[in-house]
């Protein structure tokens, strides 16, 4: 009975999170058109997957100089030896999430293996930050629902793909984002390429000129 209740609660949470993400843009649009709320500045959430890497420190430095908060979805296997980078992320106010331990497609694993991938990464993050993250970006956008991960995990996908890992070309990446960006976007990038770090900081500068604010994904989805 208790297990069934917990399962039901987990499913409810996941559905709610998905609805909130999908609704973020339309809600803002409604507010603007009905005039019931004063116009807020447009907002985006920058998200970085696959790190931490040798390039993450320079990204953190650049974001700190610009007063910008972002969200980092970490691979468990990249954490050892880079604990200081993760401490710095936390100190700078970034949100830290889970990206599985070995960057695996969870839907291709058994329930037990999938749980292990998620929980071991959350544990590694907890050891450094003292926080058991609830946010996960499932690799390849494929989330395995309904498992008991010890804490209710909220899958966070994206609305704008910078394709940074594919092009690895700074002007192309910047252009890809700037031509599509809109209020409420969750932008997908990866902090394991020098070109991604350069692009991200250029994108921040350009979006700031356009009046954009930068939030972490928790702020975007619980608006």
As annotated, the active-site residues are 49, 190
Minimum distance between the CB of residue 173 and Zn ion, rounded to whole angstroms?
16
Enumerate the H helices of 67-180 as residue ranges: 83-91, 111-129, 164-167, 170-180
Please tell me what DSSP assigns to residue 40. Answer: P
The answer to whether 49 contacts Zn ion (rule: CB under 5 A) is: yes
Give dist(CA 154, CA 193) in Å, integer.
26
Minimum distance between the CB of residue 162 and Zn ion, rounded to whole angstroms?
13
Binding to Zn ion by CB under 5 A, coded x per residue (else -) over 122-161, reads: -----------------x----------------------
Minimum distance between the CB of residue 49 and Zn ion, rounded to whole angstroms?
4
Contact partners, residue 70, CB within 8 Å, separation at least 6: 45, 46, 47, 48, 63, 94, 95, 214, 216
Q: What tokens does 214 get?
A: 């930068």
The stretch among 15-23, 45-53, 64-72, 77-85 that binds Zn ion (CB under 5 A) is 45-53
Minimum distance between the CB of residue 109 and Zn ion, rounded to whole angstroms?
16
The answer to whether 117 contacts Zn ion (rule: CB under 5 A) is: no
Contact partners, residue 208, CB within 8 Å, separation at least 6: 66
The answer to whether 164 contacts Zn ion (rule: CB under 5 A) is: no
Task: Name the residues that contact Zn ion, by CB under 5 A.
Answer: 49-50, 139
């Amino acid at each position: 009975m208790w297990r069934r209740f917990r399962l039901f609660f987990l499913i409810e949470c996941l559905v709610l999170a998905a609805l909130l993400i999908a609704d973020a843009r339309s809600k803002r649009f409604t507010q603007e058109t009905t005039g019931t709320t004063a116009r807020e500045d447009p907002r985006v959430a920058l998200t970085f997957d696959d790190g931490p890497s040798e390039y993450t420190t320079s990204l953190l430095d650049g974001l700190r100089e610009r007063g910008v908060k972002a969200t980092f979805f970490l691979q468990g296997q990249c954490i050892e030896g880079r604990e200081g980078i993760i401490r710095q992320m936390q100190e700078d106010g970034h949100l830290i999430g889970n990206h599985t331990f070995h960057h695996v497609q969870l839907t291709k694993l058994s329930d037990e293996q999938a749980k292990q991938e998620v929980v071991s990464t959350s544990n590694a993050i907890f050891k450094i930050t003292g926080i058991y993250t609830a946010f996960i970006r499932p690799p390849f956008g494929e989330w395995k629902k309904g498992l008991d991960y010890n804490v209710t995990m909220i899958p966070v996908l994206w609305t704008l793909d910078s394709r940074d890992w594919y092009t690895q070309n700074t002007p192309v990446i910047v252009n890809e984002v700037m031509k599509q960006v809109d209020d409420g976007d969750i932008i997908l990038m990866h902090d394991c390429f020098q070109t991604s770090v350069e692009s991200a900081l250029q994108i921040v500068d350009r979006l700031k000129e356009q009046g954009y604010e930068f939030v972490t994904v928790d702020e975007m989805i619980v608006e």
